Amino acid sequence: MDARLSPDPSRFYKSVSQEYFMSLKIRLARAGAKKRPYYHIVVADSRSPRDGRFIEKVGSYNPMLPADHADRIRLVDERIKHWLSNGALATDRVARFLGNAGLAPKPTYNEQPKKSAPKAKAQERAKAAADAAAAA
């Protein structure tokens, strides 16, 4: 039988695991009113819109509350651990939340680069200027 007449069905249908675990992100989805932000922490495909389709809601973040308020960041620990173990990646802000909650290692940030020392010609000019200033 010709291959064109009976295509392999696996070419057309993805399993649920292939579809969901391809590019998952744990990220913030904005809600709330104008100038009153409120964010849901969701697990979503990275290709879906920010406030669009998501797989599961795993927490919330209310930046309008004081920093030490208990409800500012709420996380569903067991579901976040589940999604992280299945390959979901947290965005920068959510990774910081997870690090503070002890659900994932805290992200490390590189220090600012040190300013390089002046090159040889610049050092000679500076020395000459210092000598001239001392002689004057």
Give the pLDDT confidence score for residue 22 in this predicted structure: 62
Domain range for 59: 15-101
Dump strand ranges (E) for the chain.
Answer: 24-33, 36-45, 56-61, 73-75, 89-90
Give the pLDDT confidence score for residue 49 in this predicted structure: 86
Q: Supply the mean pLDDT for the chain.
A: 84
Q: Is residue 25 part of a domain?
A: yes
Give the pLDDT confidence score for residue 116 in this predicted structure: 82
Q: What is the pTM of this model?
A: 0.65
pLDDT band at 52 (very low <50, low <70, confident <90, very high): confident
Q: Is residue 64 part of a domain?
A: yes
CATH code of the domain covering residue 82 = 3.30.1320.10
One-character DSSP codes across 82-116? HHHHTT-EE-HHHHHHHHHHTSSPPPP-PPPPPPP
Q: Is residue 48 part of a domain?
A: yes
Give the pLDDT confidence score for residue 19 in this predicted structure: 52
Position with higher pLDDT, 100 vs 19: 100
Question: Which pLDDT tens digit goes with each residue over 65-117?
Answer: 999 999 999 999 999 999 999 999 999 999 999 999 999 888 887 888 888 88
Q: Is residue 29 part of a domain?
A: yes
Among candidate residues 120, 93, 118, 121, the one with its CA nearest the CA of residue 107: 93
Domain tally, the chain: 1
What percentage of the chain reaches a pLDDT higher than 90? Answer: 54
